[in-house]
Amino acid sequence: MEGVSFIVEKKLNETEQNKLTDLIAPEFKKYEIFAFGRKKLKEEKPMKFLNIKNTKKRTQYALKLCGYDTICIIRNINILFSKIKAISELLNSNDLIIGEIESKHYNFYTKHITKQHIGFLLFSKKTLLKRGFLKNYPDFKNLKIGYAEIPLREEIKVPKIFRPLNTIFSFLVYPHASEKKEINISIGEDDYLYIPEIYSAKKTLTIENIQFLSVLGIVCIALLGGFWHFFGVNPLIIFIGFCTFFYLFSLFFKLDLVFNAINYKPMKFSEEEIKRIDDKKLPVYTLLIPLYKETEVLKQIVSAIQNLDWPKNKLDVKFLLEEDDSETIKAVKKMKLPEYFEIVILPNTYPKTKPKALNVGLTKVKGEYLVLYDAEDMPERDQLKKAYLAFKKLPEKYACVQAKLNYYNKDQNILTKLFTSEYCTWFDLYLPGLMARNYPIPLGGTSNHFKVEIIKKLGGWDPYNVTEDCDLGMRIYKKGYDTGIIESTTWEEANSKLHGWIRQRSRWVKGYIQTSLVHLRHPVRSLKEFRLKNFFAFLFFVGGTPLIPILNLFFWALTILWFTTNWLTIKALFPPIVFYPGLFSLVIGNFIFIYLSLLGCVEREFYNLIKWSLLAPFYWLLMGFASIKAFAQLIKLPHFWEKTTHGFHLIEKKEAGFLKKTKILKLGSFVKTGILKLAKAYNRLDKHLERKIEKLKKKLAKYFKKFTTNRLMKRWRK
């Protein structure tokens, strides 16, 4: 590339002009810049000014003036020019290269291109002159459009007067030292942490967390103290008022999700579309399946995989087994698995988590796409082909396609019924609502389908985060990628034991806390990457999930205490401005959340669960206890992965089948024994009665003899 002509579709001030020149000059020896504004006396040679008000006309005029064959139209100067050289090589196969900075606006390919969507346009002048492109700019019909990801990551500028305070306000410093290393997916790492440490939960509280929380705490104390000192407002009233309005915002936020979910339809594919797929053209698909002490469900997952509708010679199934789990390793080796199954023994290193296993598996992936399944999963037969079709139809910016999750043992007991009701609300209402509003998506723990190339760019999973799915969903969004959802369900086993449910839920809550802390290490930066609306969605949906169950316990306890004692101190904490919103949250808010549970069951057509959803408040009570445990465990055991035991539903099936005869035999034996005991008791009673009757007969005979003797003696005396 001999030189580049840069056309800026924006009026630049002097500072922006200098910045633009500073960006271009180190990278290109030959270049010219067409800026828009009045011609200045001291005009530098590479900078040329065009004072034409009409944007379309001045760009067309500038295109004609360009002296170089490669032309770059800039619509936002905050891009990384160092990548243009590499991207320009794509011009051999495309007429036009588009550099996108707002990646969530993916539909510009087919509909229109606007200024706010584009970082730059790069094209060859000769090619486009033949097509008459310059006459009809910006007409993109019949063009081979290439696509280049140019991430917009502006450095957060700290004013000069605050620069000596960077050590105190390090949560404003960008970039972090750990980000300077390139991501390298390699088996050589000890802990398999590929992402920068600033994005990892390896340290629960980093210096950035401590400093940000300290500054936030000082500000809160100053505000509370100020209100108390100047206005005489009790800080507890302000705290309770803040919590109350947090409840209300959370309520309206989730209602907004549900309203948007009604009109949002996940991607559906007909049977005809699936049948038209040519199996010979399908790529290799990798399945990562972490197993740890899963002998009970081993046969089930193998059967589920073999049932998938995908060419078996293009399946790459990897069982990820821990080195110290000898029982599962022996069980897997005894099974006669097909050739496309591979056993990967994980090194016995810390941390022992599911994401660490996935990162090890990521180093051995052979496929173009990969999906995660848990040991107890039963995906629908055509799920892989639906995900494949979704990736083909969606724009390139889609890194993940999420299938819905639900439970196959929903009727096992009351706990599984309530658990299923919650999942229906989550995956059939909240998740589609998040996608309809284009909010960050906390992924489900399984049935996430990824493009291998993109997931490697992201550095895989955080091995220290116990909800690696939620964290990955946030990083996918922050890096400019999107997530889709398909109309396909993976059936899982709902935890049917209360102690097991508490363990599982506390791990989920702990992971949400970890994810919140990680992405609040640089709050200003996260605000810029998420954008304001999405940042608050992240706070309410991810940060609020651990807090609301604990606040429930606190306010319910206050309510019960008030009704039982009429303690005036409690009444004083609820002035009218706090009391009425709080009453609305208690009565109307809880009613709405119960109604949403019912609506989730209706959406999934689980009508038999509707009556059980009315018990949701008791389920929320359990969530509160699990959240307390999560906060306590975050301090002592932040990376401890509490294993969820599976296979209880299979045990019950065995009892229903194989043990049924035994139960019948036992019942028959019990009945027989009872009859024999009754017979023996009857014999003993009969003998006892015979003895009693004999004694009675003797007594009667004795009394009769005595009576008759007395009567005869009286007659004889007369």
| SS3 per-residue string spanning 516-557 | HHHHCCCHHHHHHHHCHHHHHHHHHHHHHHHHHHHHHHHHHH
Show which of 636, 658, 673 is a domain's final residue.
Answer: 636
What is the token pair recorded at 153? 């990551």
- Nearest 5 degrees, angle CA 109-CA 111-CA 115? 80
* Same-domain check for residues 140 and 267: no
What is the token pair recorded at 680? 């023996």
Is 164 within the bounds of a domain? no
Tally of CB atoms within 10 A around 64: 9
DSSP string, 409-466: -TTSSHHHHHHHHHHHHIIIIIHHHHHHTT------SS-EEEEHHHHHHTT---TT-T
Show which of 117, 149, 181 is a domain's final residue.
Answer: 149
Q: How many domains does the chain have?
A: 2
What is the separation, in whole angstroms, between the first and last Cα of the chain?
160
**Along the chain (718 residues), what's the average pLDDT of each consecutive run of 10 residues?**
78 77 77 75 65 76 83 74 68 72 43 54 77 67 67 48 58 71 72 87 88 88 88 88 90 91 87 91 94 88 93 94 90 90 88 91 92 92 94 90 91 92 91 90 92 92 93 91 92 90 93 94 86 90 90 90 87 89 90 92 90 91 93 90 70 48 61 72 75 79 73 62
Q: Is 83 helix (H, G, I), strand (E, B) or coil?
A: helix
* Same-domain check for residues 465 and 591: yes
Q: How far apart are the C-alpha atoms of 15 and 385, rounded to whole Å? A: 52
Is 621 within the bounds of a domain? yes
What is the token pair recorded at 228? 């108390």
Strand order in the sheet with 378-379: 341-346, 315-322, 285-291, 369-372, 448-451, 398-407, 482-492, 378-379
Is 242 within the bounds of a domain? no
Q: Which residues contact 644 (CB under 8 A, 6 or more apart)?
A: 495, 500, 503, 504
Is 375 within the bounds of a domain? yes
CATH number assigned to the domain comprising residue 356: 3.90.550.10
Nearest CA to 556 out of 580, 585, 578 is that of: 585
* Same-domain check for residues 292 and 437: yes
Is 163 within the bounds of a domain? no
- What is the bridge-based pairing of β-strands 448-451 and 398-407? antiparallel
pLDDT at 282: 94
pLDDT at 383: 95
Long-range contacts of 246-249 (CB under 8 A, 24+ apart): 246/544, 246/547, 246/551, 247/548, 247/551, 247/582, 247/585, 247/589, 248/581, 248/584, 248/585, 248/589, 249/540
pLDDT at 641: 86
Residue 267 DSSP code: B
Q: How far apart are the C-alpha atoms of 56 and 406, rounded to whole Å? A: 52
**Single-letter amino acid code for the residue at 106:** Y
What is the token pair recorded at 211? 């400093």
Q: Which residues contact 160 (CB under 8 A, 6 or more apart)?
A: none
Q: Which residues contact 360 (CB under 8 A, 6 or more apart)?
A: 187, 192, 320, 344, 346, 347
Q: Is 49 helix (H, G, I), strand (E, B) or coil?
A: strand
Nearest CA to 66 out of 117, 6, 150, 116 is that of: 6
> 358 with 461: CB under 8 angstroms?
yes
* Same-domain check for residues 496 and 632: yes
Q: What's this model's pTM, rounded to 2 decimal places?
A: 0.72
pLDDT at 148: 67
Q: What residue spans of 459-497 are helical by DSSP H?
A: 468-478
**Domain coverage including residue 85:** 4-149
pLDDT at 115: 46
- Nearest 5 degrees, angle CA 295-CA 383-CA 448? 70
Q: How many residues does the chain have?
A: 718
| Three-class secondary structure assignment of 323-355 | CCCHHHHHHHHHCCCCCCEEEEEECCCCCCCHH
Q: Which residues contact 373 (CB under 8 A, 6 or more apart)?
A: 287, 288, 289, 301, 304, 305, 379, 446, 447, 490
Q: How far apart are the C-alpha atoms of 95 and 421, rounded to whole Å? A: 52
> 521 with 201: CB under 8 angstroms?
no
* Same-domain check for residues 454 and 603: yes
Is 165 within the bounds of a domain? no
pLDDT at 479: 87
Is 368 within the bounds of a domain? yes
Q: How far apart are the C-alpha atoms of 178 and 688, rounded to whole Å? A: 93
> Is the bond preceding 175 in cis, omega lying within 30 degrees of 0?
yes
Q: How far apart are the C-alpha atoms of 65 and 34, rounded to whole Å? A: 9
**Single-letter amino acid code for the residue at 342:** E
* Same-domain check for residues 269 and 145: no
Q: Which residues contact 260 (CB under 8 A, 6 or more apart)?
A: 432, 433, 436, 437
Nearest CA to 545 out of 513, 585, 590, 582 is that of: 513
Show which of 612, 636, 660 is a domain's final residue.
Answer: 636
Q: How far apart are the C-alpha atoms of 8 and 350, rounded to whole Å? A: 52
Nearest CA to 178 out of 202, 150, 162 is that of: 202
* Same-domain check for residues 144 and 272: no
Q: Is 215 helix (H, G, I), strand (E, B) or coil?
A: helix
Tally of CB atoms within 10 A around 349: 14
Q: Which residues contact 718 (CB under 8 A, 6 or more apart)?
A: none
Is 704 within the bounds of a domain? no
pLDDT at 717: 59
Q: What residue spans of 66-206 are helical by DSSP H?
A: 84-88, 125-130
Q: How far apart are the C-alpha atoms of 437 and 421, rounded to whole Å? A: 23
